[in-house]
Amino acid sequence: MTTRRNFLRQSALGAGALALPASFGAPLGSTPPKRFIFIRKSNGIRPNEVALPSFTDQEKSLDAKRQPLEVDLDKHELPEWMRPVAAHKANLSILQGLSCKMSENGHWSYSSVMGAYKSGRNSLSGIKRATIDFEIAKLFPSPFGHVELSLTGNYSTFRTGIVSGYSAPAPHQRNYCYADPQTAYNELFKSVINPDAVNSDNAMLKFLEGEESFKAGVLQGYEKLKLSNHIDSIDSIRARNKKLKKMSRAIAEHLPKLDAVHADGGLNASTPEKQAAMTDVLVAALVTGLTNVLTYTIDELSTPIKGIPGNEGDHISIHELGHNGGYSGIPADKIREKIRFGHMEQVATIVGKLKATPEGNGSMFDNTVIMYFPENGEGHHSHGTEAPFIVLSGDKCHLDMAGRYIRLPYHATEGHKTIGNWYTTLLNAHGNPTEHYGDFDLETARKKIDQVGSIKQLMRL
């Protein structure tokens, strides 16, 4: 029988878990949960863009030849576009050498990059498993379970409202996501800013519970069980809504202030303004305890880029940048760098705000892992042999990689690691003992090179 507890377990990130809670986070006084932020960016990250400018000749040579390499960041300068996170070098890792051939789909990866499989556009049947963010969210339950944000568009305008996302709660299912800061704000903090809507939902659920209970009263055996599951499910959602209401004071304290430009989807907001507002919402969702896992598509190829410094009036297509088109006389590479710089500013803001939020004897950031990575490997038209990850992790996270530039052995050579190994590392380090997450790399398999499991040297247990 589905008990209340079972219900919560089943619904923890079950289908379409947006705004649908599993259970509540750790009670006050207990160990804080770990938090994970996955930031997806489009157009690839070319490995040389993350190479350190202060490499010695030998290091430079090894890096260029894709040979294994590890250096301490405190002895090096970061690439110019990473300057915003320079203050957090001690928590920063640059992870090079991972491959993602099993998820590489050309321009876009949709759910693939976070599921380590190939799923095409609009093809639900290609979604083979829950994406890594949903798997991790199961380990750190929260009222919303998992939150997905995105800034995407149709080249001319931004998408707004609640739209289909990229993460997958389960095989053959696609998540929903909030596509603009105001919608994310309205939905996440609904219990405070629109209690009438919550009350009306509760009234509906109460009515439904009454109806189904009446029907169940005349049934017996297995049929009664079916309806009692229905009733339990309704009952549990009502219970969650009640708890959210109880949290409203804490939520109110941390409500971000959104500029009026974001109203009605924020059609006039520039890309940097949208990013800044999304960062505020993202941080508030974590600080209020509404979620512990966030996935944020900071851009995809069709996201319009408007109002970036130096190209304020240009209407920039990221796709065109991938084909080397420049704007207002500024070359594509330079604009790509500026876009990444803008992303790093947001990452630095997130880190800064979490570090400024006390938790236990430290800060919230101590328990946070932020990953910034390309959705499709190393370029605009990728091969998937490289997929650089920029990771910022707090001291209490179970990762042993902070403060280092790490280049792992190249694709399909002995010791090579895929994004599947990296995701397995995240899972194993945080309580899911799975042997391996994700599809295998077929070239590595053909060469009979072992590729199962976590990257042990990056774990700290």
Partner 1 sequence: MTRFSKTPLLFFAVGMISMGSSLWGETKKKSFNDFKISEEAADLLENYCYSCHEDGTEKGDLRLDNLAELELNSRLDLLNKMQEQLHFEEMPPKKKEQPSEVERASLVSWISDELEKHNASKLEDKLRMPDFGNSLSHDKLFSGDYAHLKPYTPDRRWLISEFIFDAKFNQLLNHKPIKTIDGKRQTVIGDNNRRVNLTNPFLLPTNSGVRYYDTTTLNGGHLLTMITNAKNAAVQMTEHLAKRDKRYLPSFTALMTEEDRHHGILESRRRYLDSFIEPVLVDIYGSKHKTLLPRFEQVIVKEAAAQGEIKKAPFHAANPGRDELVLIFRSMRRLKKGGDNDKQLIEKCEREWFNFGHNPRKVQARITFLRGYMEEWRSQIEQHRYDEKHKPLVYKPHGEAEMKIISSTIRKHRKKGDLYQTIIDKCMTDWEEQFKQARLQAGSANDEVIAALIAELFTHIYERPTTPEEASKYLSLAKNYLADLGNMHGVQKLIQTLILRSEFVYRSEFGASNPDEHGRRMLSPRDASYAIAYSLTDSSPDTELAAAAANGKLNTRDDYKREILRLLKKRDQFYVIDEGVQRIQLTASITNLPIRKLRFFREFFGYPKMLPIFKDRKRFGGDYDGSKGRLVGEADRLVEHVLKNDTNVFEELLTTDKFYVYHSGDNEAMTASSKRIRRIHEYFKDMDWENFEVEDLLKHKEFLAEVKMRGIDVSNLAKKGRRNPIREFKTALTSFALRFDQGETAAAPFVSFPAHGLYNASTRTGLQLRSPEVAKFYNIQLDHWDYPGEQPAKVENRKGILTHPAWLIAHAQNTETDPVVRGKWVREKLLAGTIPDIPITVEAKIPDDHHSTLRARLASVTEAKYCWRCHERMNPLGYSFEIFDDFGRYRLQESLEHPDNLVKKGPDKAANHVDLRDTYKNLPVDAKGYLRGTGDAALDGEIKDAIDLAERLGKSARVRQSIIRHAFRYFMGRNEFLSDSKTLIDADMAYLKSGGSFNAVILSLLTSDSFLYRKAKQPE
The alpha carbons of the chain give a radius of gyration, in whole angstroms, of: 22
Taking the complex as a whole, the smallest distance from the CB of residue 13 to partner 1 amounts, in Å, to: 8
Taking the complex as a whole, the smallest distance from the CB of residue 433 to partner 1 amounts, in Å, to: 15
The beta-carbon contacts of 193-200 under 8 Å, at least 24 apart in sequence, are 193/255, 195/245, 195/248, 198/241, 198/244, 198/245
Which amino acid is present at 270? Answer: S
Bridge partners of 391, per DSSP, are: 93, 371
Q: Can you tell me which of 38, 189, 327, 372 binds partner 1, judged by CB under 8 A?
A: 327
In the range 266-295, which residues lie near partner 1 by CB under 8 A?
Answer: 268, 270
Could you give the string, one character per residue 350-379, with x where binding to partner 1 holds by CB under 8 A and - elsewhere?
------------------------------
- Cα distance between residue 112 and residue 129, in whole Å: 10
The beta-carbon contacts of 228-232 under 8 Å, at least 24 apart in sequence, are 228/1, 228/2, 229/1, 229/2, 229/7, 232/2, 232/3, 232/4, 232/7
Residue 368 or 421: the one with the smaller Cβ distance to partner 1 is: 421
Taking the complex as a whole, the smallest distance from the CB of residue 211 to partner 1 amounts, in Å, to: 6
Residue 306 or 355: the one with the smaller Cβ distance to partner 1 is: 306
Q: Can you tell me which of 108, 202, 259, 326 binds partner 1, judged by CB under 8 A?
A: 326
Size of the chain, expressed as the number of residues it contains? 461
In the range 332-351, which residues lie near partner 1 by CB under 8 A?
Answer: 332
In the range 121-140, which residues lie near partner 1 by CB under 8 A?
Answer: 122-126, 128
Distances (CA, A) of 238 to 114, 141, 208, 357: 32, 18, 11, 31
Residue 310 or 360: the one with the smaller Cβ distance to partner 1 is: 310
Bridge partners of 283, per DSSP, are: none
Residue 73 or 244: the one with the smaller Cβ distance to partner 1 is: 244
End-to-end CA distance of the chain: 36
Taking the complex as a whole, the smallest distance from the CB of residue 123 to partner 1 amounts, in Å, to: 5
CB-count burial class (<10 Å; 0-12, 13-18, 19+) for 99: buried
Instruction: List, edge to edge, every strand of the sheet that includes 35-41.
Output: 69-72, 404-407, 92-96, 389-393, 368-374, 35-41, 293-297, 147-150, 176-178, 162-164
Bridge partners of 370, per DSSP, are: 37, 392
Mapped onto helix, strand or coil, the DSSP state of residue 23 is coil
In the range 190-249, which residues lie near partner 1 by CB under 8 A?
Answer: 200, 203-204, 207-208, 211-212, 215, 220-223, 225-227, 229-230, 232-234, 236-237
Taking the complex as a whole, the smallest distance from the CB of residue 220 to partner 1 amounts, in Å, to: 7
Taking the complex as a whole, the smallest distance from the CB of residue 445 to partner 1 amounts, in Å, to: 6
- Cα distance between residue 31 and residue 80, in whole Å: 37
Q: Can you tell me which of 48, 56, 156, 194 binds partner 1, judged by CB under 8 A?
A: 156
Residue 3 in the binding site for partner 1 (CB under 8 A): no
Q: Can you tell me which of 28, 29, 448, 461 binds partner 1, judged by CB under 8 A?
A: 448
Taking the complex as a whole, the smallest distance from the CB of residue 448 to partner 1 amounts, in Å, to: 5
Residue 26 in the binding site for partner 1 (CB under 8 A): no
Taking the complex as a whole, the smallest distance from the CB of residue 125 to partner 1 amounts, in Å, to: 3
User: Which range binds partner 1 by CB under 8 A, 69-77, 154-162, 370-378, 390-398?
Assistant: 154-162
In the range 411-440, which residues lie near partner 1 by CB under 8 A?
Answer: 439-440
Q: Can you tell me which of 27, 29, 217, 329 binds partner 1, judged by CB under 8 A?
A: 329
Taking the complex as a whole, the smallest distance from the CB of residue 267 to partner 1 amounts, in Å, to: 8
Taking the complex as a whole, the smallest distance from the CB of residue 11 to partner 1 amounts, in Å, to: 3
Half-sphere exposure of 426 (CA within 13 A, CB side): 30
In contact, 173 and 15? CB cutoff 8 Å: yes
In the range 42-101, which residues lie near partner 1 by CB under 8 A?
Answer: none
By CB under 8 A, the count of residues binding partner 1 is 87
Locate 351 and state its tokens. 């880190």
